[in-house]
């Protein structure tokens, strides 16, 4: 199929891009020009069954970019509550301390508590009303390259191939087999969210990431809770730091009041921790057991669950975002402010600016890197840079722990984001993971976060109970979409060196070490990896955090995955 523009990913970045492009084409066609532009061959591909089903965030929207995209959007968008009250707390195992003032980056008056799922769905309706076709249930599974060149200056992307439908678990076509579509596009825009699979291929093949500024990530585990009235007010925002993470790990919790009896509750764990036994899902369950969270949640009911990774690296870790025939948006390209814990507004703005460059490409009939470089130039001129540049070293400052991080954050505040020396270099998070035999006694008392949580079924839950509440569904008769390059590494090296951390960092119990038919050296059963891929909630943590980097997440058959209704 020939296409003018293909946008892969129907989240806020992709939808904002489609909507802005439709607006520009409408304005152009209404201006009395001879040569009209068509919206007919502009497509958004979304891998979930319905728009928004794979969209999950803590749920705070800074409305700045939406006000530019759709002035007056507040009147019709699904906004749950305007923020009316914030507080920041530090938790120790037995204590809770309220910050005397809310640090400016966490002041949220004027922002909205939203369900990203509902918000993306609403944006999708706007896109379709504007005359752009959204294909749901279709993932971009391969990039179409113009030739063999893999040089960032000369390589050219000419579209994508969508996923094959009806392939069985052995990789053979079933009765309902349909091969993927080849969508040949003038401009291909990747807005797949954090660690997008096509974005990863593009960044890797063209060497777009600066090795001295590797991207770092966190994983957010979220539950939606019905709670008794009077615990958290509608529009109230609570942030916590500390327990159960120690000063060596990065992360913290949020509780947002959606209504007086419904709250978004979650915990983000930085994916650069050292102890391979840490389980981010367990971290979240332990947080809920702390008296601070317990007093809010006890007597309530958990109704939904989900998990998603997010890019923490900020401006310095942004890969090149344009080339011949392609652009990268949103979380796929590091548009997130980790100091403010917000990215939706930046994702939307990146989509709008990419749409303007794509429009120029359509108008001029030239989608070379020269034309699309205007996207990056526009980002540099926009408030995206104004917001991200002064916090460019923020997350990197925490590489050696919380205390040093706070000292560095203070210095950066005075120096407009700079350090006393040059900008911080940083390593990929998985490189921080230490082998089991190097963990000293200080690592032994981490019961609140190592190993899988069991859960009491009321306040805390095991992972399978949680996954049930994510609405996740995949056809079982299809190839496994978690591709492990060498299973021998799992059963041999990884068992000895790291204790198979995939069993812990996956928040959906996908990875399990089970007895194999082989014997180990001591006469017992050797272990092998079992992959329960149908549980996968598409968070990408395994692709990011595996210490050997041998796990690749590829899109399963379109339509499969979680159903983040209301999340």
Residues of the shown chain interacting with ligand SF4 in the complex, contacts defined by CB under 6 A: 482, 506-508, 510, 536-542, 553
> How far apart, in whole angstroms, are the C-alpha atoms of residue 82 and residue 136?
31
Closest distance of CB 536 from ligand SF4, Å: 3
Q: Which is nearer to ligand SF4, 91 or 529 (CB)?
A: 529
d(CA 187, CA 329): 13
Report how far residue 22's alpha carbon sits from residue 15's, in angstroms, rounded to the nearest whole number.
11
229 vs 514, beta carbon nearer ligand SF4: 514
CB of 242 to ligand SF4, least distance (A): 25
Q: How far is the CB of 268 from ligand SF4 (least distance, A)?
A: 14
288-304: burial string, b at 16+ Cβ within 10 Å, e else: bbbebbeebbeebebeb
DSSP labels, 5-34: EEEE--SHHHHHHHHHHHHHHHHHHHTT-S
Could you tell me the smallest distance in angstroms from the CB atom of residue 546 to ligand SF4?
Answer: 9
Please name which of 90, 93, 89 lies closest in space to residue 291, comparing C-alpha atoms: 93
The smaller minimum CB distance to ligand SF4, of residues 152 and 283, is found at: 283
Nearer to ligand SF4, 343 or 556 (CB): 556
Nearer to ligand SF4, 305 or 326 (CB): 305
Least distance (Å) from ligand SF4 to the CB of residue 542? 3
Q: How far apart (Å, rounded) are the C-alpha atoms in residues 11 and 6? A: 14
**3-state DSSP: the chain helix, strand, coil percent, rounded to 5?**
30, 25, 40
Return the structure tokens found at 546.
């595996």
CA distances from 299 to 267, 331, 459 (A): 20, 36, 8
Give the CA dihedral 400, 405, 407, 410, nearest 10 degrees: 150
**118 or 538: CB nearest ligand SF4:** 538
| Of the candidates 162, 211, 166, the residue with the CA atom closest to the CA atom of residue 183 | 162
Least distance between ligand SF4 and beta carbon 222 (Å): 13
Q: Which is nearer to ligand SF4, 11 or 507 (CB)?
A: 507
Task: For residue 124, give the nearest of 79, 77, 82 by alpha carbon.
Answer: 77
Give the 3-state DSSP-derived string for 325-385, with helices as H, strands as E and coil as C: CEEECHHHHCCCECCCCECHHHHHHHHHHHHHHHHHHHHHCCCCHHHHHHHHHHHHHCHHH
For residues 138 and 305, which CB has a smaller minimum distance to ligand SF4 in the complex? 305
Nearest distance from C-beta of residue 481 to ligand SF4, angstroms: 8
Q: What is the dihedral of CA 504, 543, 539, 215, to 10 degrees?
A: 110
**In DSSP terms, which residues pair with 161 in a beta bridge?**
142, 182
User: Judged by CB, which is closer to ligand SF4: 12, or 501?
Assistant: 501
Rounded CA-CA distance 150/152 in Å is: 6
Name which of 446 and 538 has its Cβ closer to ligand SF4.
Answer: 538
The DSSP H or E segment spanning 332 is: none
Least distance in angstroms from the C-beta of 476 to ligand SF4:
15
* Per-residue tokens: 268: 């983000």
- Among 37, 496, 466, residue whose Cα is nearest residue 221: 466
Q: How far is the CB of 510 from ligand SF4 (least distance, A)?
A: 4
Give dist(CA 193, CA 311) in Å, integer: 9
Q: Tokens standing for 248?
A: 């060596």
Give min distance, CB of 192 to ligand SF4, in A: 13
Report the nearest approach of ligand SF4 to the CB of residue 227 (Å).
27
């Amino acid at each position: 199929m020939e296409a003018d523009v293909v946008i892969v990913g129907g989240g806020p970045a992709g939808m904002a891009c489609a909507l802005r492009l439709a607006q520009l084409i409408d304005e152009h066609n209404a201006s009395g020009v001879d040569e009209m532009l068509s919206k007919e061959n502009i497509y958004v591909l979304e891998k979930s069954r319905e728009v928004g089903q794979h969209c999950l965030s803590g749920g705070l929207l800074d409305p700045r970019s939406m006000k530019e995209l759709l002035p007056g959007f507040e009147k019709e968008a699904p906004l749950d509550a305007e923020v009316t009250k914030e507080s920041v707390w530090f938790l120790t195992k037995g204590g809770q301390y309220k910050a005397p003032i809310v640090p400016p980056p966490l002041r949220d008056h004027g922002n909205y508590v939203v369900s990203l799922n509902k918000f993306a769905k609403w944006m999708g309706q706007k896109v379709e009303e504007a005359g752009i076709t959204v294909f749901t249930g279709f993932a971009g599974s391969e990039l179409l390259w113009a030739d063999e060149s893999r040089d960032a200056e000369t390589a050219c992307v000419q579209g994508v191939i969508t996923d094959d439908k009806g392939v069985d678990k052995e990789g053979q076509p079933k009765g309902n087999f349909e091969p993927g579509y080849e969508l040949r596009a003038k401009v291909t825009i990747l807005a797949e969210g954090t660690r997008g699979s096509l974005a990863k291929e593009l960044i890797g093949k063209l060497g777009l990431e600066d090795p001295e500024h590797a991207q770092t990530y966190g994983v957010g585990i979220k539950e939606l809770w019905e709670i008794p009235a009077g615990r958290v007010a509608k529009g109230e925002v609570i942030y916590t730091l500390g327990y159960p993470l120690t000063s060596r790990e990065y992360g913290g919790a949020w509780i947002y009041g959606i209504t007086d009896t419904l709250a978004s509750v979650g915990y983000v764990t930085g994916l650069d921790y050292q102890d391979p036994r840490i389980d981010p899902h367990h971290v979240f369950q332990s947080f809920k057991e702390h008296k601070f969270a317990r007093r809010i949640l006890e007597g309530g009911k958990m109704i939904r669950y989900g998990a998603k990774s997010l890019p923490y690296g900020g401006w310095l870790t942004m890969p090149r975002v344009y080339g011949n025939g392609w652009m990268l948006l949103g979380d796929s390209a590091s548009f997130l402010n980790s100091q403010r814990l917000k990215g939706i507004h930046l994702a939307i703005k990146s989509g709008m600016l990419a749409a303007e460059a794509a429009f120029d490409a359509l108008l001029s009939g030239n989608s070379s890197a020269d034309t699309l470089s205007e996207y990056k130039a526009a980002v540099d001129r926009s408030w995206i840079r104004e917001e991200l540049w002064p916090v460019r070293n923020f997350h990197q400052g925490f590489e050696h722990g919380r205390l040093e991080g706070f000292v560095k954050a203070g210095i950066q505040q005075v120096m407009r984001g700079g350090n006393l020396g040059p900008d911080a270099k940083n390593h990929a998070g998985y490189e921080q993971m230490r082998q089991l035999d190097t963990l000293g006694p200080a690592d032994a008392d981490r019961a609140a976060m190592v190993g899988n949580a069991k859960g009491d079924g009321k306040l805390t839950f095991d992972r399978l109970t949680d996954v049930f509440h994510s609405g996740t569904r995949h056809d079982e008769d299809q190839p496994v979409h978690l591709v492990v390059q060498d299973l021998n590494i799992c059963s041999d090296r990884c068992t000895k060196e790291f204790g198979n951390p995939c069993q812990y960092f996956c928040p959906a119990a996908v990875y399990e070490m089970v007895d194999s038919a082989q014997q180990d050296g001591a006469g017992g059963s050797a272990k092998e990896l079992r992959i329960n891929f149908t549980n996968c909630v598409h968070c990408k943590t395994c692709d990011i955090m595996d210490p050997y980097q041998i796990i690749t997440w590829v899109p399963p058959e379109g339509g499969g995955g979680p159903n983040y209704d209301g999340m």
